[in-house]
Amino acid sequence: MTSVYIPEMARLVGVEQMTATEKLFTIELPNGRSLGHDPGQFVMASVMGVGEAPVSVSSSPSRSNGVFELCVRQVGDVTNALHGMEPGGWIGVRGPFGNGFPVEKMRGKDLLFAPGGLGLAPLRSLINQVLDERGAFGRVIILCGARRPQELLFRDEVDEWVARDDVECLVTVDRGDDTWDGHVGVITTLFHQISVNPRNTVAATVGPPIMYRFVLMELLGKGIPESQIYLSLERRMRCGVGKCGHCQIHDLCCCQEGPVLTYAQSKGVEEAL
Amino acid sequence: MSLMVLNKGAVGPLIEALMADYRVVGPQAKGPQFAFGTLTDPAQMRLDYNTTILPPKKVLQPQQERLASYSLGGKPSVEQIIEATPTVLFGIHTCDLHAVQLLDKAFSEEYPDAHYLARRDQTILVSLECLEPCDEHSFCKSMGTLTAGEGYDLHLTDLGLAYAVDVATEAGAQILSDYGSASEAGDGDVRRLNDVLGAKWPRFTYRLEFDAAELPALLSTAYDHPLWQELGDRCLACGSCTNVCPTCYCFNVYDETNMALTEGERVRRWDSCQLDEFARVAGGENFREARAARQRHRFMRKGRYIFEKFGELGCVGCGRCIRACVADINIVDGFNAIQRSA
Amino acid sequence: MSETPSNGRPKIAFFDFASCEGCQLTVVDSLQTHLDLLNAVEIVQFREAMTEKGEDYQIAFIEGSCTREADEARLLEIREQADVVVALGACAHLGGVNALKNLHPLEDTRRWVYGDKADWYGTYEARPIGAVIEVDLAIPGCPIDREEFVRVVKAVLIGKTPPIPDYPVCVECKLKENVCLFDIGKFCLGPVVRAGCDAICPTYGDGCEGCRGFIPHPNQNAMKDVLAKAGLTVEEVMSRMTMFNTYQLQEQLVEEEGR
């Protein structure tokens, strides 16, 4: 039997510095195989000799071209080692794991995406998939926040979303600077600028724990049902396959039943939010 | 399959013969206590043991094991490592046997764990009927584990001068016939077996003040119970309760390399939800920081979460966590307190 | 800051302050069985093992606590030169047994040690080197564990967080399936003291005395209760807790009073 813990070695074909602390890695699996992931799923990425860490897939399944992308913030040993790698290097990959966003349930609905900071990394996968099938969905609203202008991820793509007629994309930063002529304020300040038909809206938000508390209040305040609000939880999976116990939140195993949960599932679960 | 009788004098020769072809692991004395270990002499085996410090789980999920080895430099080549050897696990009590069945489920569901399952596949389980409780901390009767109807290859019951041997599998029948000298049980043996089993029952006491089947529902409304804070104040967060638990299987994974950085290994080690860093994420946030929340998580896992996932309670009543806790945290008292206040 | 050595091997140096030099002895010992370690680094200064004294190094290992104001300048010099400063052993990491003197008036301890020559010697409260200069990491223990020393050096060389456990001695002790010392009437600080020693003292029947320092967020009150219940008097409990951790406990008191 082949062990589920053995990573497959995949070639790093592109490295792009996105911000001071984030890089985008483009990875090619052997034989041009596609990762076969759903938006919101994660892989276990290894730098052999250093260790393994869970990372959300940032590219859309609809744009695989035999590669996938990981947007990685430098926060620990594995991500430090990844940041030290150059194209041509080898990354161990297991997965994809986890449940991902329920794209099927989103068809025909108005969609409200609220990424904050690094939360754009997994949501970009979903947003691009939606935009590649734009006709299958209702309104597409993106409320995007970052702490400072230079921390805004995927700037070019976000600019394209802003420019599109069929996307309502608003961007804000907590603190502006000379380079910034856009909106300044925390992400919740964007919510006043839009109105939605709550019953027909599905929301997806990903961001740091502190952001959830406020964004969720805004979404609920718009009348969007709890079961139509999706969020993704960051946990430090050690196995990715429901064994190691590290990502368990009350009775939910985050790597199997998550990382994407509805607000209905996670509310009142104090270890979740 | 069949009921056989093995004279007590024939146990030593059986073990001796098995040792030629198998790693035979059995209970042995360790200071004033007991521990499972590989036998090098049949006389080391102490079938009169009460309980062991660690459960026999360690034979199937060792404290540390290698998952893979790899070369570094250029394209790393990764080789999986399966550490498994033909093993007879001899003399495990029925609480631990129930725990093994739970581990089997945990390591087979959805993504099978090749490392555990290879060891499990090569392990023959010889269990032992308990005729007395280990000590005052055993609560196997409450958890329904003071006997077992399945899960073993051979099951021994002490009849005085001989063991009744319930032969449950082909593998069990084979080692008994190839390595031992057992005979078919006669009517007298069966009567004696019934007597022994009938006599044991009253020696065990129920220690939960309610039916264990009520635990999952009971705990589902106990998140805010004051008990957790009380336990958190006393808990040292040393992790002993989970390390000695036969149904805990959490682990952490580490990479280790040689000094020249030309090769390395990926290993896993037991881990514990009671330890400070267990639920810490890369950003530094700890989602279960309070000791109270960590104890709650343990109680919930034993009494509710594992049940929801596998249909069986995550506690087999062996009492090891109670014995191991220097702060006297007692899961039976805890469950009873919750039930009383419900 | 120094230049990266041309041969690619980082230069390391060893220094000692108030200590028994037992940790450096352990280093010598561990170098003898880990020749690969010697190939990976270049030792430029190590009084215990060689006569050369190079002042060009990237990694400084410092044994011993700081017990004299006069030693601070030397520590600052080392900090200035080294990219990485490693506290080696309990004295450097915690203050260790040297800090026991802090429980007594300074004048008394000076007289006890130096007698009528007390005025000749400057001394102040013993402290870990981290109280004087910034320390990048510590290898705990009295003495250090030789295998852990090798693991930490390896981690520093590949830029990984050194694998110093945050969990307590009980974890290693249980995984070795030792009989718990509390079960045989002995006393042990294992539940609240940092592991990494492979529970060496309890394995040989001696209770942990805390030479590796407390784990993060130790439940000290519960530990005191457990020791008291096991039969120790308050004085005995405190004498156990302060053996290696006087400096930390005193700092803690100051912090609690400040609040």
A4 with B113: Cβ contact below 8 A: yes
Cα distance between residue A28 and residue A66, in whole Å: 6
Please, which pLDDT band fits residue C2 given cuts at 50, 70 and 90?
very low
Residue C94 maps to a domain: yes
Which amino acid makes up residue A86?
E
State the average pLDDT over residues C160-176: 94
- Do C56 and C130 fall into the same domain? yes
- Do C224 and C243 fall into the same domain? yes
Cα distance between residue C12 and residue C10, in whole Å: 6
The mean pLDDT of chain B is 96
| pLDDT for the residue C163 | 86
- Percentage of the residues of chain B whose pLDDT score is greater than 70: 100
Of the three residues C158, C185, C211, the one that is the final residue of a domain is: C158
Best probe of the C interface among A46, A48, A75, A77, by most C CBs < 10 A, is A77
Cα distance between residue B9 and residue B26, in whole Å: 17
Q: Is the pLDDT confidence value at B123 over 70?
A: yes
Q: Where are the alpha helices (DSSP H) in B180-305?
A: 187-200, 215-220, 227-234, 240-243, 291-300
Please, which pLDDT band fits residue C117 given cuts at 50, 70 and 90?
confident
Give residue-wise pLDDT tens across range B69-102.
Answer: 999 988 999 999 999 999 999 999 999 999 999 9
| pLDDT for the residue C6 | 45
- Do C45 and C132 fall into the same domain? yes
- Do C142 and C83 fall into the same domain? yes
Residues of B in contact with C182 (CB under 8 A): 326
Q: Which CATH superfamily is domain A8-97 in?
A: Translation factors (2.40.30.10)
- Name the DSSP letter for residue B242: H
Q: Where are the alpha helices (DSSP H) in C144-215?
A: 146-158, 169-175, 200-203
- Do C189 and C97 fall into the same domain? no
- Name the DSSP letter for residue B304: I
Question: C161 CA to chain A: closest CA distance, Å?
Answer: 6
Residue C152 maps to a domain: yes
Closest CA to B301 of B257, B237, B245: B245
Cα distance between residue A101 and residue A123, in whole Å: 9
- Do C143 and C203 fall into the same domain? no
Residues of B in contact with A209 (CB under 8 A): 285
Question: A5 CA to chain C: closest CA distance, Å?
Answer: 22
Tokens 């940092």 appear where? C194
What total number of domains does chain C contain?
Answer: 2
Closest CA to A46 of A21, A100, A3, A10: A10
pTM of the model: 0.94
| Cα-based torsion angle of the residue sequence C68, C71, C72, C77 in order, rounded to the nearest 10 degrees | 180
- Do C60 and C130 fall into the same domain? yes
Of the three residues C95, C125, C158, the one that is the final residue of a domain is: C158
Please, which pLDDT band fits residue B28 given cuts at 50, 70 and 90?
very high
A51 with B68: Cβ contact below 8 A: no
Specify burial of residue A183 (Cβ count, 10 A radius: 0-12, 13-18, 19+): middle
Least-confidence region, from A158-172, A197-211, A223-237, B271-285:
B271-285
The residue length of chain B stands at 342
Angle between helices B291-300 and B227-234 (to 10 degrees): 120
Which amino acid makes up residue A96?
P
Q: Which residue has the higher pLDDT, C117 or A26?
A: A26
State the average pLDDT over residues B153-182: 97
Residue C6 maps to a domain: no
Residue C234 maps to a domain: yes
Give residue-wise pLDDT tens across range C42-58.
Answer: 999 988 788 888 889 99
Please, which pLDDT band fits residue A236 given cuts at 50, 70 and 90?
confident
Residue C181 maps to a domain: yes
What is the domain-level CATH number for residue C76?
3.40.50.700
Whether residue A227 lies within 8 A of chain C, CB to CB, comes out as no
Closest CA to C92 of C165, C19, C194, C192: C19
Q: Is the pLDDT confidence value at A86 over 70?
A: yes
Of the three residues C109, C127, C158, the one that is the final residue of a domain is: C158
- What φ, ψ does residue C19 adopt, rounded to 5°? -165, 175
CB neighbours (10 Å) of residue A240?
23
**How many angstroms separate the Cα of B247 from the Cα of each of A124, B97, B315?**
40, 10, 7
Give residue-wise pLDDT tens across range B291-317.
Answer: 999 999 999 999 999 999 999 999 999
Question: A256 CA to chain B: closest CA distance, Å?
Answer: 9
Least-confidence region, from B114-123, B188-197, C105-114:
C105-114
Residues of B in contact with C186 (CB under 8 A): none
Q: Is the pLDDT confidence value at A118 over 90?
A: yes
Structural domain for C28, as ranges: 11-158
State the average pLDDT over residues C174-191: 97
For residue C212, the Cα-to-chain-centroid distance in whole angstroms is 6
Q: Is the pLDDT confidence value at A273 over 60?
A: yes
Q: Where are the alpha helices (DSSP H) in C60-105?
A: 72-81, 89-94
Give residue-wise pLDDT tens across range B45-56.
Answer: 999 999 999 999
Residues of C in contact with A81 (CB under 8 A): 159-160
Q: Is the pLDDT confidence value at B124 over 70?
A: yes
| pLDDT for the residue C7 | 61
Give residue-wise pLDDT tens across range C196-224.
Answer: 999 999 999 999 999 999 999 999 999 99
Report ipTM (2 d.p.): 0.95
- Do C53 and C127 fall into the same domain? yes
Query: What CATH architecture does domain A103-232 belong to?
Result: 3-Layer(aba) Sandwich (3.40)
- Do C21 and C43 fall into the same domain? yes
Residues A244, B253: contact at Cβ < 8 Å? yes
Cα distance between residue C238 and residue B242, in whole Å: 29
Q: Which residues pair with B183 in a beta bridge?
A: B5
The ranges assigned to domains in chain A are 8-97, 103-232
| pLDDT for the residue C3 | 44
